[in-house]
Structure 1
């Protein structure tokens, strides 16, 4: 009874409200938030029209209607700003009104904007060039602060979402993927080895000295099974499917035959480009992912350039790609790059002045020594 009374009261209030009222909806939130909030200021300064014009051709004209471009781009920006996963970004958007206004929503929403998996689909759709466009617009917002001639450059590891790689995991992964592909293509296998693989997985888990021989025999058997199923599938699959799976089969064969001291090993089946990186850290001696370089301005500490490297090369060879990427988003040329001691030998690859925290040279005067000491202070890095 009480519920119906309040419903009638709300409807009566809505009917009696003047048509020229600034609040066109009961859930309008644009004027109820702090107008000086950083997210609202960023939303007003960002060039959304340029993004919509850039990505308009990517929207399909058939099927279900596409999500607004500002909504999807805004979610990607919020994800990076607050270091959230795709699922967390969607959850926070549903609870945070500032997130919703930043993405172009005028009324408070009580339903998720999209499924979390749609963010990864949108990232693949816009590709590397689309992400570059968003990054370039974010750099342009800072104006002269992004045009400083002195920058800091450092490299880090962009870790991938993979488990600790072992030969057992890779062999079992190959067997399961081959079985799944055979089932999808309707191919009748002689054996699937499911029960035997489960027992072999258990045998490989016991690394005690007494069971070491047993674990080695189990791993050898897993590799044999993987090779048998892979060759059987290659004989029975149609040529069109073989052409599509050519790269995958090559990675499978490499994962089954690689040895401990081999180079360019496969560490993950779903991320075959991952390589092992040792940065000398006590807590994480080895990390699995890709090297990434970051370029920051000296005073404002703005990120004006990032670069991901496909090969595990020395840091001295990574300075030039990082500076080249930074030059794409600015008008002023970089004159000085401040780096750490891991970049020794990089002067032969770049034209800019490189400052490394070494002992002062005899030919340096007092002003040069003070400048290098000022730039290389650990507190400023």
Structure 2
């Protein structure tokens, strides 16, 4: 059940405090609350819930605001609740009408918020928030600009710069290796056997043998070595595969009784399916002496995570979600996210069309790295009068003019903007290690990062304008 409440920001002076104080309108949380279009997405959020059934859910502003606070401050779910409990500005940001010393909700509800607010909804909010600010800025600039300047802007068919690139958002998993993964799978099967045997104790002659102590010794014998040979690792993997095969056969025999299956929890049943798939993949790679396989599982707790080959210095392979992003006018947008590796060059057309849908015109230039500059993308840009950065295809000319060298240097400087955005998202925010465990909640957490980055950009611009206005006013008073 969902009871729709007004999410429009309450004036700060009307926010009730127990000590009869007032909130400052210059506070960052008050400013950010006025930047986000809460009411525009209230209806879409309400569609998730039933009109008549269930307990009333918390408002959309409280759900999204809590996720923004968590990402902005870089804290855990529990710490987020504690910060909201202690700070009246944070309570105002999530839509409360008055200050309260009590926690607004339990920390576990933040997981539900990430499930309900999916990545598409966050991207829509991000697009709408930036577009709203840009429209207001354009209206102010049109009032100040002359008629001749307006005509010049209308005559140019393409306007703006589009910067594209892709990166990986690593998940919170340990660096995987085949032997360690098989050892974890074996331990899982042993616990499942213990659970299945418990209700059948006394009816069966004896408990199925798992040889867990011997299996652990075989694993540690190689795992504790500082440097083990390839032959030793392969021999240890073979042993672990045999242990898992024996345990899976025991599980099948126990499940044939029909009563034992009821003793498994949902998480244990999912773990059993994951372990069976891990065994199949590792057995195939062992028999074929291969190092890769399609849809390879690298984590038992997060089986959706895939290895993403990046080819970067120091980190040739990362384990997480691959995402394609774009930068327009200093704002960053999440265009695509996938747990499987993909060629980002195939997204260039869709990203250019999204730029046109957002601004109404095609970009004047597209700044990308080498992987985007294939013949198909070059032809697509040429048909629409878009200049794509980088040298042309074919043998480079012997003599390059100074103007072209300067143009190439300027293009690289422009493209550095998206590299800087990725650096900020991984150093200042949580994109370097996504702590969410489920696939859909991880995607929401990644999308929230880009939303908070744009909020920070807007907040910085607001303070710059405020500072400039203050200095201009002081200069006027001093001179007149």
Scaled by the length of structure 1, what TM-score is found? Answer: 0.75
Aligned to 2:307: 276
Alpha-carbon distance in 2 for matches of 1:161, 1:190: 35
Cα drift, residue 301 of structure 1: 0.7
1:292-348 deviation digits (Å, cap 9, x = unpaired): 111001xx3111343113432344334345445656655444453211234332743
Pick closer, same or farther for the CA change 1:27–1:268 going to 2, 3 Å: farther
Is residue 2:335 matched to residue 1:344? no
Aligned to 1:261: 291
Is residue 2:208 matched to residue 1:190? yes
Is residue 2:333 matched to residue 1:304? yes
Paired residues, number: 357
Is residue 2:33 matched to residue 1:38? no
Aligned to 1:228: 246
Task: Tell me whether 190-199 or 204-213 shows the greater mean CA deviation.
Answer: 204-213
Pick closer, same or farther for the CA change 1:99–1:23 going to 2, 3 Å: closer
Match of 1:136 among 121, 127, 130: 127
Alpha-carbon distance in 1 for matches of 2:74, 2:125: 17
Is residue 2:278 matched to residue 1:252? yes
Alpha-carbon distance in 1 for matches of 2:357, 2:103: 36
1:45-94 deviation digits (Å, cap 9, x = unpaired): 32212332211232365555422321111112233444544344334433
Match of 1:26 among 18, 21, 45: 18
Alpha-carbon distance in 1 for matches of 2:351, 2:330: 16
Pick closer, same or farther for the CA change 1:234–1:249 going to 2, 3 Å: farther
* 8 A Cα contact 2:186 2:244, kept in partner: yes
Alpha-carbon distance in 1 for matches of 2:168, 2:186: 30
Is residue 2:266 matched to residue 1:237? no
Which residues of 2 match residues 172-183 of structure 1 at below 5 A?
A: 172-182=183-193
Cα drift, residue 261 of structure 1: 1.8
Cα drift, residue 373 of structure 1: 4.1
Superposition RMSD on alpha carbons, in Å? 4.1
Aligned to 2:220: 202
Alpha-carbon distance in 1 for matches of 2:293, 2:190: 28
Aligned to 1:4: none
Alpha-carbon distance in 1 for matches of 2:246, 2:27: 62
Q: Secondary structure, in 3 states, of the residue corresponding to 2:117?
A: helix
Q: Secondary structure, in 3 states, of the residue corresponding to 1:129?
A: helix
Q: Secondary structure, in 3 states, of the residue corresponding to 2:297?
A: coil
Match of 2:326 among 277, 290, 295: 295
1:92-135 deviation digits (Å, cap 9, x = unpaired): 43344332211112333434333333222222233343333433
Q: Secondary structure, in 3 states, of the residue corresponding to 1:266?
A: coil
Aligned to 1:3: none
Pick closer, same or farther for the CA change 1:224–1:111 going to 2, 3 Å: farther
Q: Secondary structure, in 3 states, of the residue corresponding to 2:118?
A: helix
Aligned to 1:11: none
Pick closer, same or farther for the CA change 1:339–1:213 going to 2, 3 Å: closer
**Unmatched tracts of structure 1, length 5 or more:** 1-20
* 8 A Cα contact 2:390 2:408, kept in partner: yes
* 8 A Cα contact 1:28 1:107, kept in partner: no
Alpha-carbon distance in 2 for matches of 1:152, 1:208: 45
Match of 2:108 among 111, 117, 139: 117
1:28-58 deviation digits (Å, cap 9, x = unpaired): 66x23x2022321221232212332211232
Match of 1:166 among 174, 177, 193: 177
Q: Secondary structure, in 3 states, of the residue corresponding to 2:314?
A: coil
1:136-172 deviation digits (Å, cap 9, x = unpaired): 3333333347996321111111111111001122112
Alpha-carbon distance in 1 for matches of 2:15, 2:282: 65
Pick closer, same or farther for the CA change 1:143–1:287 going to 2, 3 Å: same
**Unmatched tracts of structure 2, length 5 or more:** 1-12, 139-157, 201-206, 418-480
Q: Secondary structure, in 3 states, of the residue corresponding to 2:188?
A: helix
Pick closer, same or farther for the CA change 1:366–1:209 going to 2, 3 Å: closer
* 8 A Cα contact 2:35 2:129, kept in partner: no
Is residue 2:148 matched to residue 1:126? no
